[in-house]
Amino acid sequence: EPEVTQTPSHQVTQMGQEVILRCVPISNHLYFYWYRQILGQKVEFLVSFYNNEISEKSEIFDDQFSVERPDGSNFTLKIRSTKLEDSAMYFCASSGPGTGSNQPQHFGDGTRLSIL
């Protein structure tokens, strides 16, 4: 069964550095998402991406964050000037094919980001 894959599985970075988290969504999916889960807390929506542009973003997703689909397969989340509170598990998800809200979102195994 097709899967969403994320790399790396664990990223350790010094505070203030930039990180790029990578995702390969399921190949025929059209909608892409990033969520995060701070340890012991709920999974929180960050951003959705469709047709090469952001379709929705949360208040968490400020100027520190950006997303990109640099080619036909990868979907990346960039976090600039990382802070201690950015430490979390970051999940990529995708849904489709086709449009419409009644498509389940399929998640990757996540990248654990640790800011020191």
Enumerate binding residues for other proteins (CB under 8 A): 4, 6, 31, 33, 35, 42-45, 48, 50, 55-56, 58, 91, 93, 95, 101-102, 104-110
Residue 86 or 91 with smaller CB distance to other proteins: 91
Residue 13 or 30 with smaller CB distance to other proteins: 30
DSSP string spanning 24-50? E--TT--EEEEEEE-TTS-EEEEEEEE
**Minimum separation from the CB atom of position 45 to other proteins (A):** 5
**Minimum separation from the CB atom of position 61 to other proteins (A):** 11
**Minimum separation from the CB atom of position 64 to other proteins (A):** 19
Residue 4 or 67 with smaller CB distance to other proteins: 4
Rama region for 52: left / alpha / beta (φ>0; ψ in -120 to 50; rest): left
Smallest CA-to-CA distance from 57 within 39, 38, 77, 73 is with 77
Smallest CA-to-CA distance from 45 within 77, 81, 91, 98 is with 91
Secondary structure class of 62 (helix, strand, coil): coil
**Minimum separation from the CB atom of position 26 to other proteins (A):** 12
Tell me the C-alpha distance between 10 and 22, whole Å: 11
Residue 55 or 73 with smaller CB distance to other proteins: 55
